[in-house]
């Protein structure tokens, strides 16, 4: 049985990888343990969030699926940080996790060029230092030109609930042991990480009247640029906010001696930015309470996810802990929280295409690369799927720069810096976040998606028109001025803006703090026919013009560094002036450009200057 691309794992990375490969015309096989679990949301019932929403928008702009499906099955939509600057706002949606899974599974099963096999991948076969196929537990040997591993938490997955341990990649599903062994045989370095999930509670046992209600946005905005905004009217359900208290903390602390996290039972390193509740209580003893978000898991709202209460405490301790919280005094646990350990591939072993350096044709995407989160996984899966197809077609790889997308930041961070803990995306990780906003993801990336064959003509044309409207609007603001005439002073007063005493460009008027979106139409009739989304773009670009230009100057400098390539097999030990620490890191991470070297922690500007001078001399001698 021969395929172009085999994808192992049916989670968020596996879905995007397999759909991209199939939609780009390659015969693709998705191998998954349980076909009905394709698209399962193992942890929280939500998509997006701060920085994560950016990733979903970028996935969508490139032709990925996550945003579209979220819009179909979302049960609450909110923009986080809405009162702050446009660069740090993040879209988030609660989803019906059952409908999300069913929709993704059916989509995969009905996609042309895409086959599904419910089997366990056990061994990667190779020929001449390149992959040749996969052998499953049924002893079926599937041959392929490229293999993408999206195994999530299944590689030697081990679940912990108190002292109870269970071999599983997810509750009720087998762990994958033999595939880890196969990777080690191929010389791939594996590490061990840990993540966790929260208890799920029967809705009938919750007293919501004791909690703060949290509604969705009055005018919800869809994730996908391809969703019709005019007819987007999802039925929204509320979430609720509860709080831990001193009694809760006392119960948790009184069970530290039974917590796998502290007894040495768990070996893997957990996520620093999304810790378990026992870790929070241990680290932040000065806090009197912690927020809990009580989230419906489906449209029927029969079961609620207690977000913020990730735990691996014993079942009786979990119940006692819940019963100490206002509104959860009579809570009945449907599914206990648990921690899970799993193997991951140190991502510095990958190129920017997510292909393994040691084994040609083998790609890794998602939690196997040390990340945490559905969105980070989906982004990697999409990029791995695209690049696997491009490699088969002998076309240049598709690599997004750090100034082009959060996806570029994500992958560059992983392959140049590696990770020793589950990696999560934050807006602070992006140096050029004012340019990488959610609202302009379509302008940045839709042309790429169209060129790759993942975006249709109508969507592409819509992005082109939006870009053209933005250019016209910004040029008009730059080229036209207001003088302090009586008419103009009255106009500004009508808009509630400070009067002017000298001639001033319309751009500087718009850049004022008090200038609002609705003022554009009053400023000039030219804006009357502009679509709302174009006006929003004009407002942001005009307000932050100076900052945007500064970031573009920084990008020009970055491109200069990127253009300086580090010759392969360079002997860093022979370069005079580099410290032992710098040499060790350069040898370990093997950066391909000066910019890649600059992203490695501990590589100083002085070291980069030495490298640049050495490369110039080295290249001259080579010529």
* The pLDDT of residue 595: 81
Distances (CA, A) of 72 to 67, 110, 234, 564: 9, 17, 8, 45
* The pLDDT of residue 620: 58
* The pLDDT of residue 621: 56
Output the six-digit token pair for 421. 């803990």
Q: DSSP for 458-495, please give it.
A: HHHHHHHHHHHHHHHHHHHHHH-EE---HHHHHHHHHT
Distance of CA 337 to the CA centre of its chain: 23
SS3 content of the chain, % helix, strand, coil (to 5): 40, 20, 40
Picking from 283, 276, 284, the residue whose alpha carbon sits closest to that of residue 259 is: 276
* Under 8 Å between Cβ of 50 and 430: no
At 32-50, the pLDDT tens digits run 999 999 999 999 999 999 9
Q: Using CA of residue 574, residue 575, residue 580, residue 586, what is the dihedral sign?
A: negative
* The pLDDT of residue 594: 86
Helix (H) or strand (E) holding 614: helix 605-622
Residue 335, CB half-sphere, CA atoms under 13 Å: how many? 18
* The pLDDT of residue 589: 84
* The pLDDT of residue 622: 55
Strands 200-202 and 303-307, sheet pairing: antiparallel
Report, as ranges of residue numbers, the positions in the chain whose pLDDT lies below 70: 562, 619-623
Distances (CA, A) of 528 to 507, 525, 534: 17, 5, 11
Output the six-digit token pair for 379. 């982004």
Output the six-digit token pair for 474. 């910004």
Domains contained in the chain, CATH given: 200-338 (2.40.30.260), 464-548 (1.10.10.1800), 564-622 (1.10.150.570)
At 336-364, the pLDDT tens digits run 999 999 999 999 999 999 999 999 999 99
582-589, Cβ contacts within 8 angstroms, sequence gap of 24 or more? 582/607, 588/348, 589/348, 589/416, 589/417, 589/418
* The pLDDT of residue 585: 86
Distances (CA, A) of 574 to 16, 280, 592, 611, 618: 44, 47, 18, 11, 12
* The pLDDT of residue 619: 65
């Amino acid at each position: 049985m021969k395929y172009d691309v085999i994808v192992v794992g049916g989670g968020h990375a596996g879905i995007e990888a397999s759909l991209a490969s199939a939609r780009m015309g390659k015969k693709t096989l998705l191998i998954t343990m349980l076909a009905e679990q394709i698209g399962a949301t193992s942890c929280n019932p939500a998509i997006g969030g701060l920085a994560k929403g950016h990733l979903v928008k970028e996935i969508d702009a490139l032709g990925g699926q996550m945003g579209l499906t979220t819009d179909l099955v979302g049960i609450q939509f909110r923009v986080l940080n809405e009162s702050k600057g446009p660069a740090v706002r993040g879209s988030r949606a609660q989803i019906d996790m059952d409908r999300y899974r069913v929709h993704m599974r059916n989509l995969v099963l009905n996609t042309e060029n895409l086959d599904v096999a419910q089997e366990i991948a056990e061994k990667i076969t190779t020929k001449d230092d390149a992959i040749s196929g996969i052998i499953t537990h049924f002893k079926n040997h599937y041959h392929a030109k490229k293999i993408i591993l999206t195994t999530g938490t299944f590689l030697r997955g081990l679940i912990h609930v108190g002292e109870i341990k269970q071999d599983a990649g997810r509750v009720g599903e087998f762990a994958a042991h033999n595939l880890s062994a196969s990777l080690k045989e191929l010389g791939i370095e594996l590490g061990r990480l840990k993540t966790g999930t929260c208890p799920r509670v029967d809705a009938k046992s919750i007293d919501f009247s004791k909690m703060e209600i949290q509604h969705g946005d009055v005018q919800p905005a869809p994730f996908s640029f391809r969703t019709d905004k005019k007819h987007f009217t999802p039925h929204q359900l509320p979430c609720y906010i509860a709080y831990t208290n001193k009694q809760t903390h006392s119960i948790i602390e009184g069970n530290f001696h039974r917590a796998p996290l502290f007894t040495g039972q768990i070996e893997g390193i957990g996520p620093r930015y999304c810790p378990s509740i026992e870790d929070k209580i241990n680290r932040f003893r000065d806090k009197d309470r912690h927020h809990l978000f009580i989230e419906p898991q489906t449209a029927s709202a029969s079961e609620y996810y207690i977000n913020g209460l990730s735990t691996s405490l014993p079942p009786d301790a979990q119940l006692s802990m819940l019963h100490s919280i206002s509104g959860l005094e009579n809570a009945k646990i449907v599914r206990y929280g648990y921690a899970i350990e799993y193997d991951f591939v140190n991502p510095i072993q990958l190129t920017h295409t997510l292909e393994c350096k040691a084994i040609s044709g083998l790609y890794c995407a998602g939690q196997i690369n040390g990340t945490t989160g559905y969105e980070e996984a989906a982004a990697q899966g999409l990029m791995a799927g695209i690049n696997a197809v491009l490699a088969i077609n002998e076309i240049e790889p598709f690599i997004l720069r750090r100034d082009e997308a959060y996806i570029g930041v994500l992958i560059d961070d992983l392959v140049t810096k590696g990770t020793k803990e589950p990696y999560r995306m934050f807006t602070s990780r992006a140096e050029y976040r004012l340019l990488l906003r959610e609202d302009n993801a379509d302008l940045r990336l839709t042309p790429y998606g169209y060129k790759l064959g993942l975006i249709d003509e109508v969507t592409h044309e819509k992005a082109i028109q939006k870009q053209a409207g933005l250019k016209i609007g910004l040029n008009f603001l730059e080229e036209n001025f207001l003088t302090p005439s009586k008419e103009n002073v009255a106009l500004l007063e009508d808009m509630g803006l400070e009067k002017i005493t000298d001639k001033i460009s319309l751009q500087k008027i718009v850049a004022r703090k008090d200038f609002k979106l609705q003022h554009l139409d009053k400023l000039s009739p030219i804006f009357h026919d502009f679509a709302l989304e174009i006006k929003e773009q004009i407002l942001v670009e005009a307000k932050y013009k100076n900052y945007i230009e500064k970031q573009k100057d920084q990008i020009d400098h970055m491109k200069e560094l990127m253009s300086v390539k580090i010759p392969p097999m360079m002997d860093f030990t022979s370069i005079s002036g580099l410290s032992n620490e710098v040499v060790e890191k350069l040898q370990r991470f093997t950066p391909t450009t000066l910019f890649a070297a600059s992203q490695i922690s501990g590589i100083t500007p002085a070291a980069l200057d030495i490298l640049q001078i050495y490369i110039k001399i080295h290249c001259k001698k080579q010529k």
